[in-house]
Structures are given as C-alpha cells and as structure tokens.
C-alpha cells in the first residue's frame, strides 16, 4: 500500500525543510571547526611531525581549507542549478563528507590528510550551497528572514560547539570517542536528508532561448540598459510585447553572464560587500584574540574561550529574532545600524593595552574589552545572512520580470555560491590584515 500524501506532508513542509538545512549548516560548521583545537595533537602525535613545524603546518591546513571553499563555490553553484533535484547532490555530498571525515580521523599520512581535508571542504560547500538553495526554493521571500535566522543560529551553535566539544571530549573520553560524535552528527544529517521531500514553489513558465537568439533579452551587451531592476524589467517588456500572450522569449544568462547580470545591480554588490566585511571582522578576531588577551591581560586558553563564547553565544539566541525583524523591515536599516555601532566598537576594542589610552589599562581595560566583544557578538547578527537574502531578492525580481532568465531551475545555487565566495574572501583576508597590523604594532609602528 502506498504512502498517502497526508502522511508525508510534514516531510515536504517548509518547517521540516528549514530544520533539515539548519542541521546541515550546524554539521558543516561543527566539522570545519572541530579539528582546530586537536590539530596540533594530530600532527605531532599521530603523524610524528616535528614540533617546530606544527604552527606553520596548522596555518597551511586551515588556509588550504578556506581557499578550496573559495575556488569550489562557483563551480558547485553552476552545476547545482543544472540539476532538477536538489536532494541528489545533497546526498552525494553528505556521503563524500562522511568518507572524508573518517579518513581525516584515521589517517597517519600527511598527504592523505590534506587530500581528505580538501574533500571535506568541497563536500561541505556542496551541502552548504545546495542546502541554502533548497531553502530558497521552498521558503517565500516573506519568510526568508526567519528561515535565515534559524540557520544562522545553527551556524553559531556549530561554530561554538565544534572546538568546545573537541577539546573537552579528547581530554575526558579520548580521541576516537570524540570523532564518534562527529560521525553521529553526519548520520543524523543523512537521515533527515533522506526523509525530506522536495516541494519547491512553482516557477513562471517561459520559452527560454539560446544565447544566440536575436529575439532574446540581453542584459549584458544591450546598449543603454540601466542598472536598476525596473529598467531591466522595462527592457524585457519592450523586447517581448510583440510576442503572443503567455509566451515570452528571454535569453538565459549562463556562465559569466549570470554574474555580470547580477553585478549590474548595486543592491547585489552592496549585499556581497557587507557580507564580506562581516566575515573579515570575525576572521580577524579569531586570528588575533587569543594572543592579544594573553599579551595584554595575561589570560590563558580559558579566558580566550570565554571571549569566543561572548562572541558566538548571542547569535544562537538573537538570530531568529533578527530574522523576524528583517522580514518586517528589510535588511537596509539593520545593516547600516550594525555598521554604525560596530565601527566605533572595533576602535574601542583596540584601546586596552595601548599606552596611548591610559584610561583603558588594568581592570578597566579588560572590562572595556569584554564589553566590546559582547557588542560585536550582538550587533554582528544584523549582518549575518544579508548577502544571501538580498541576492535572492534580486534574483526573484529578475525572474518575475523575465521568467526563465536564469534557466529552468533558477539561479539560487549560484547566488548561494556567490555569498559563500564573499564569506571565504573575508575569511582569507581577515587573518592577513589583522596579522600584518599586529606585526607592525610589535615593531612600534603606529597603525
């Protein structure tokens, strides 16, 4: 006897889809950060690396992971939008990540370890990009803020739980038991992906033409086209008003033309730039915070851990609330408020320990530093997810005015890939900029 639609309706619901994507985001961040505190142990004890090489090798492994994500994102987004089913690449990516995680945990060979980490980065990007595209397919624009808020909370929880659980479990119950929990996270994710039933919102029907069709709309080469969404829509109507009703021929934007088309809209560029600055801020703190609190306040790993807790914990609580707020008022006002608060707060963060600011010394200094970190943790939530949300709005507006412009399966995967690239650029630049700044300060150069 077949399963009735009523009995499976909850598996195709928006709530279950968002929950599944949130679990996937949690697992991706949990695994990517889980290895950080135990990586020196793995390199020295399991791979017999010389202690003098551990710091350089640790930096190389983490940088290679971020660089692989940056390179893989547009490729994954391009091919994911060509597949009608989002579930297939999700399951394939999850299986690859499961195998790669087992390889990372078990190998004693450094080249094989690098290769397994590369597979982790690529498969993790598949889960991230296609998962977010799945959520965008099913969740309407009016609820996208709440959905993004839930997944952001999951991301914050994964970023916090990964290194914390790794440090605690390796010390208390052992190496293999710690990795067993990571495998369990992936198994739970796999079960939810198998249970999920795709139920995307219907797309406008169109007759999409090839790139060399004369009657098509070309946003990338047509002279006199405007950067605004309204002008783009008007251009489309002007080109198609002589066609029979209900049949609109548009030119599908493929390859680089997809990104050129989106880049003509300031809303898209501003969103990606804001998202990049957000990741740059977090990456800079992650790279410099432990050494700064040690040299300035004499704090050890526990004090640094508490600062990271103050940075990440607000996101777990506030992200759903911020998502609800953005559904009501949009992203423009929360974004400029975040930058208005964070700009002086970041300056204040650098005053403790600086001789030019004697009022920020001693106990008052660590109080100022702690308060600044908490403020960053609270107000940075207003920036999280803004890249994907605003980019999705631009894609929705263009597809509504020009159905089929991004192909029969839309452009959500490529949009998610673009946001992932913006994030990765910030994660790469953050440690470089902050590291150079710290190096100059150590040499007595005022910055």
pLDDT tens, residue by residue, 185-244: 999 999 988 888 876 655 555 444 444 443 344 433 333 333 444 444 444 444 444 444
Mean pLDDT of 363-385: 88
Report DSSP letters for 315-346, one per residue. Answer: HHHHHHHHHHHHHHH-SHHHHHHHHHHHHHHH
Quick check: 1 pLDDT over 50?
Answer: no
Quick check: 16 pLDDT over 80?
Answer: yes
249 forms beta bridges with: 207
6-10, 272-276, 395-399: the lowest-pLDDT one: 6-10
Encoded tokens for 250: 């548009």
Those residues whose C-beta lies under 8 Å from the C-beta of residue 286, and which sit 6 or more positions away, are 308, 430, 431
Report DSSP letters for 374-400, one per residue. Answer: HHHHHHGGGTTTHHHHHHHHHHHHHHH
User: pLDDT tens for residues 126-136?
Assistant: 888 888 888 87
Contact 110, 118 (CB under 8 A): no
Quick check: 379 pLDDT over 70?
Answer: yes
* The pLDDT of residue 221: 38
Which residue has better confidence, 254 or 445? 254
Contact 31, 101 (CB under 8 A): yes
DSSP state of 411: S
Mean pLDDT of 92-111: 91
User: pLDDT tens for residues 45-58?
Assistant: 889 888 878 767 87
Quick check: 245 pLDDT over 50?
Answer: no
Quick check: 252 pLDDT over 70?
Answer: yes
* 110 class by beta-carbon count within 10 Å (0-12 exposed, 13-18 middle, 19+ buried): middle
User: pLDDT tens for residues 313-338?
Assistant: 888 888 888 888 888 888 888 889 99
* Cα separation, 314 vs 316, whole angstroms: 5
Judged by DSSP in three states, 202 sits in coil
Cα of 271 vs its chain's centroid, Å: 13
Instruction: Give the CA distances from residue 198 to residues 188, 233, 336, in Å, rounded to whole numbers and listed in that order.
Output: 18, 30, 36
Encoded tokens for 385: 């997810």
Judged by DSSP in three states, 408 sits in coil
Confidence of residue 102 (pLDDT cuts 50, 70, 90): very high
Percentage of the chain surpassing pLDDT 90? 11
Q: Strand 249-251 to strand 207-209: parallel, antiparallel, or no bridges (unpaired)?
A: parallel
* The pLDDT of residue 232: 41
* The pLDDT of residue 442: 60
């Amino acid at each position: 006897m077949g399963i009735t639609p009523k009995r499976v309706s909850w598996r195709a619901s928006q709530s279950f889809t968002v929950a599944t994507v949130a679990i996937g985001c949690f697992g991706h961040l949990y695994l990517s950060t889980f290895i950080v505190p135990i990586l020196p142990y793995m390199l020295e004890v399991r791979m017999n690396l010389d202690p003098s090489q551990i710091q350089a090798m640790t930096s190389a492994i983490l940088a290679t992971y971020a660089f692989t994500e940056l390179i893989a994102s547009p490729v994954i987004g391009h091919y994911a939008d060509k597949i009608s089913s989002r579930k297939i690449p999700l399951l394939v990516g999850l299986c690859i990540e499961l195998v790669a995680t087992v390889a990372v945990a078990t190998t004693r060979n450094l080249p094989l370890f690098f290769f397994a980490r590369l597979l982790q980065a690529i498969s993790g990007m598949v889960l991230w990009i296609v998962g977010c595209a799945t959520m965008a397919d099913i969740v309407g624009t009016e609820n996208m803020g709440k959905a993004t808020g839930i997944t952001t909370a999951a991301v914050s929880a994964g970023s916090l739980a990964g290194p914390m659980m790794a440090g605690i479990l390796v010390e208390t119950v052992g190496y293999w038991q710690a990795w067993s929990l990571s495998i369990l996270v992936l198994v739970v994710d796999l079960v939810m992906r198998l249970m999920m039933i795709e139920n995307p919102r219907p797309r406008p029907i169109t007759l999409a033409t090839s790139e060399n069709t004369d009657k098509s709309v070309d946003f990338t080469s047509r002279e006199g086209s405007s950067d605004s969404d309204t002008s783009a829509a008007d251009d489309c109507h002007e080109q198609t008003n002589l066609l029979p009703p209900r049949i609109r021929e548009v030119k599908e934007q493929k390859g680089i033309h997809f990104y050129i088309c989106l880049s003509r809209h300031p809303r898209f560029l501003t969103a990606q730039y804001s998202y990049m600055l957000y990741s740059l801020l977090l990456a800079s703190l992650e790279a410099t915070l432990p050494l700064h609190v040690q040299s300035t306040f004499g704090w050890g790993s526990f004090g640094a851990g508490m600062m990271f807790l103050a940075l990440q914990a607000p996101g777990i609580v506030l992200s759903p609330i911020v998502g609800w707020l953005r559904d009501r008022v949009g992203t423009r006002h929360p974004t400029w408020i975040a930058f208005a608060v964070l700009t002086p707060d970041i300056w204040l963060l650098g005053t403790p320990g600086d001789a030019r600011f004697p009022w920020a010394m001693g106990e008052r200094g660590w109080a100022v530093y702690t308060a600044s970190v908490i403020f960053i943790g609270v107000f940075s939530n207003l920036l999280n997810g803004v890249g994907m949300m605003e980019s999705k709005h631009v894609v929705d507006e263009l597809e509504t005015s020009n159905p089929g412009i991004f192909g029969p399966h839309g452009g959500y995967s490529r949009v998610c890939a673009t946001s992932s690239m913006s994030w990765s650029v910030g994660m790469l630049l953050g440690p470089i900029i902050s590291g150079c700044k710290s190096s100059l300060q150590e040499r007595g150069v005022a910055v």
